[in-house]
Chain A
Amino acid sequence: MLLILNEEQEMLQDAARGFLAEKAPVAAFRKIRDSKPADGFCRELWLEMAQMGWAGIIVEEEHGGSGFGYVGAGVLAEQMGRNLTASPFFSTSVLGATAIQQFGTEKQKEENLAAISSGESLFALAVDEGPRHNPGRITFSAEPSGNGFTLSGAKTFVADGHVADRLIIAARTSGEEGDTHGITLFLVDADAPEIVRERTPMVDSRNAANIVVDGLEVTGDAILGELDGGYGALEGILSAGRAVLSAEMSGSAQQVFGVTTDYLKEREQFGQKIGSFQGLQHRAAHLATEIEMMKSAVLKSLKDLDADFDNAGMTCSLAKAKTGQVAQLATKEAIQMHGGIGVTDEYDVGLYFKRVHVAQQMFGDAGFHSDRWARNSGF
């Protein structure tokens, strides 16, 4: 396995770079933030992305996708991170598509994958129940009733939860809080009357929602993966999400670092370019090195997902940890090195700082993943 992009992936990268620069630059995101559309993104743009094969980027061709795998998804996410592109790509094309393609029945695949690929159906994954990511502590309840289940509980921080057509809910069918056994994934229609969805505006101006479910009756057909054995599937979906979020954060960090070094070359203080000051040069050099480490970690996690999905969990975790740290450092340094202009709303670096903060919290921050790594290594 070579740790570089192949020709096809480089072409995808070039296409994404060109398309996003034209259709979804940071200015477009700023417009969405300020005009506050109900969707939180531009539907027309999303359908255009779908037409280019982006919505079905990881979906196999037989199900209407473009079959580019996770490296392909990461290539797109990185460019979206550079442009702060708001779209349901992460919730639908990464989380939703992974859930169905990896763990769905043939019927579920037929019903959902083409709809994901065409951009017509939006998905959201509902995992967390508190302010900090903790997929082991699921209490959302799924009680057996009749020949199905009754779902009740609350979920927080569901990306695109308020606009999704379908929800994937991680619920407890047996066991106690903290047990990994006893968790089951349910695929349900989001517009059922028993489901109340409340959009929670976040500091990054991207879509998140609280979801409350009160007595939703579903049949066994709604189960995605195995009854009581859904934790493994959840881990797989989260791994894919972590790797692709890392790619997005990597894009944001690289972009903001590029903007910062450009600024260091232009801005004059004390009669000199500030980039000639060793105090700033050495911090920039350190950050540049960290960014290279981050890029390697991200690419490895994506390649591992493509090569051996079931065993990619730890590299995805490590990528998320490293990227969370480096992307935060990059955006913090960007603000500091820009000085006063860096903390103005008019200037873009603050937008990256906010997005990176939220993205690094989603599905586990560096502390969460460090702990996971240590536990997995037996200490």
Chain B
Amino acid sequence: MSDTEKFRTEVRAWLDKNCPEEMRDGDITAENQCWGGRLWEFQSEAQKIWFERALSKGYTVPIWPKEYGGAGLSAEEAKILDEERQAINARKPLNNFGISMLGPALLAYGTDEQKAQHLTGIARGEIRWCQGYSEPGAGSDLAALKTKCEDKGDHWLINGQKIWTSNADISDWIFCLVRTDFDAPKHQGITFILFDMATAGISVKPIVLISGHSPFCETFLDNVKVPKSYGDNNASVVGEINRGWDVAKNLLVHERGMLGTMSPLRGTTGPENLGKFAAEKIGLDATGRLDDPALRQNIVQAELDNWAYNLTVERMTDEANAGNGLGAKSSMLKYAASELTKRGTELRMEIEGTTAAIIGEDGIEYGSLANNWLYNRAYSILGGTTEVQFNIISKRVLGLPSQ
């Protein structure tokens, strides 16, 4: 038996023994993930048990080094773990922005002290992170950000406003882009800084979207004093002052890769089961075809595109693990995923007809189809609009000239 086969056998046995039945429902919607953090309360005993067992094995962040709470798995081993987890429909034990976005950036740019403190906290589910990137005047044009960060000797003084800060109201720390030099060209005066959301001067206001609910918040920074170092030699700034754009870009690649692979594409609301669902709702004609030819064609096309998309995630991951980094190609996944995600719920809404448009006396219910359908409009805007992804692909993947 080869080493990989042996590893697969071990992983399968471990999952079988340690993953509680209730965590094998294949349900990976935002609502039932384990997010972690100081405010986190487990939704069930099974979720807690699953988290703790995975944690003790380093499986909350399998490819991170063991010294930071990971399992130190190779990319190939991590893929096997993921395949075996999906084979039993098990949820991820822990899922948050620290794992998918900040962690990889810190591994690339953090000091040993920053890694020791922050990565360990993420791996253990102790600290939940949010992202302070966008501002009211700096969305797609992110580098136009204006939040001001001044050097006050023993601390940084931050003033400004962030927007679209997902889960800011329930996060513990923020990774934030601030402007430290207003005279430099706009990409060159930006600094990447980490601070505790409990710091005085921070206030947070949730944003209501057309979906009735959302994770988004406005975050106001009013004379926020951020220490230059948290503890001994543990800088709040990651990378160099005024060179935060490099860190931010690295993180965006991970964010787009993550957005390109996240639910609800693969969950129960994803496009892969639309046809089956439609057949139950609408019925078949005498030839065994869905009794609505135009809808049938749209559903097949979505399923087909979804299938090609999932394979592309797999192939690009395999390529990245073999040494050809994903790089700007993550923008392709992000673009494709957001379009598919929208189409998935649009088609669900069509299949259900007017039934799906009924929302009840208390408004749009969180987690309902209508809620997801409306919220999904944001997918081709958040994390960089489709048009921004197209700009990135055309310039950084295809090498087309700038004007």
Contacts and interface: CB of A to CB of B under 8 A. Distances in A.
Nearest to A317: B304
B390 interface: yes
Given A288-B393, A374-B290, A379-B284, A276 B400 contact: yes
B112 interface: no
Interface string B290-334: 100000110111011101110110111011001000000100100
B198 to A, nearest CB: 42
B60 interface: no
A125 to B, nearest CB: 26
Given A273-B401, A300-B311, A284 B275 contact: no
Interface stretch (A13-21, A66-74, A153-161, A291-299): A291-299
A265 B399 contact: yes
Contacts of A300: 311
A294 B308 contact: yes
A293 B308 contact: yes
Contacts of A208: none
A293 B336 contact: yes
Contact of A379 (B290, B315, B318): B290
Give the interface size class of chain A. 35 or more
B150 interface: no
B397 interface: yes
A374 B319 contact: no
Given A321-B304, A379-B289, A296 B311 contact: yes
A322 B393 CA distance: 21
A273 B300 CA distance: 39
A17 B387 CA distance: 35
Interface class of chain B by DSSP: helix
B295 to A, nearest CB: 10
Interface string A247-286: 0000000000000010011000000110111101110111
A174 interface: no
Given A281-B394, A293-B305, A377 B275 contact: yes
B276 interface: yes
B303 A375 contact: no
A289 B402 CA distance: 20
B303 A281 contact: no
A23 B72 CA distance: 49
A285 B401 contact: no
B260 to A, nearest CB: 11
Nearest to A375: B288
Nearest to B273: A377
Nearest to B314: A3
A288 B275 contact: no
B142 interface: no
A294 to B, nearest CB: 7
A378 B311 CA distance: 22
A216 to B, nearest CB: 35
Contacts of B304: 318, 321-322, 370, 373
A11 interface: no
Contacts of A297: 307-308, 311
B315 A3 contact: yes
Given A289-B393, A373-B304, A378-B276, A275 B289 contact: no
B44 interface: no
Contacts of A285: 335, 389-391, 393-394, 397-398
Contacts of B76: 2
Given A3-B314, A374-B300, A377-B276, A276 B402 contact: yes
Interface class of chain A by DSSP: helix
A282 to B, nearest CB: 4
B403 interface: yes
Interface in A290-331: 292-297, 299-300, 318, 321-322
A374 B301 CA distance: 10
Given A293-B309, A297-B307, A373-B303, A282 B401 contact: no
A349 to B, nearest CB: 17
B78 interface: no
B5 to A, nearest CB: 13
A173 to B, nearest CB: 26
B241 interface: no
Interface in B58-75: none
Interface centre among A3, A285, A322, A378 (most CB of B within 10 A): A285
Contacts of B403: 272, 276-277
A341 interface: no
A375 B303 CA distance: 13
Contacts of A261: 398-400
A27 interface: no
A4 interface: yes
B88 to A, nearest CB: 19
B278 interface: yes
Contacts of B389: 285
Contacts of B387: 282
A197 B257 CA distance: 54
A4 B318 contact: yes
B28 to A, nearest CB: 22
Nearest to B313: A296
A79 B278 CA distance: 41
A292 B297 contact: no
A60 B325 CA distance: 36
Contacts of B278: 379
B11 interface: no
B108 to A, nearest CB: 24
B54 to A, nearest CB: 25
B144 interface: no
Nearest to A322: B308
B335 A289 contact: yes
Contacts of A284: 393-394, 398, 400
Nearest to A370: B300
Interface of A: 2-4, 261, 264-265, 272-273, 275-278, 280-282, 284-286, 288-289, 292-297, 299-300, 318, 321-322, 370-371, 373-375, 377-379
Given A293-B311, A379-B290, 8 more contacts: A2-B322, A285-B390, A286-B335, A293-B309, A296-B312, A318-B304, A374-B296, A374-B300
Which 10 pairs show the lowest CB-CB distances between chains A and B?
A281-B394, A285-B393, A296-B311, A293-B308, A285-B390, A275-B400, A3-B315, A379-B275, A379-B279, A296-B312
24 contacts: A2-B76, A4-B318, A4-B322, A265-B399, A272-B403, A278-B391, A281-B390, A281-B391, A281-B394, A281-B395, A288-B393, A293-B309, A293-B311, A296-B314, A297-B307, A299-B315, A370-B304, A374-B275, A374-B296, A377-B276, A378-B275, A379-B289, A379-B290, A379-B299
Interface of B: 76, 275-276, 278-279, 284, 288-290, 296-297, 299-301, 303-305, 307-309, 311-312, 314-316, 318-319, 322, 329, 332, 335-336, 387, 389-391, 393-395, 397-403
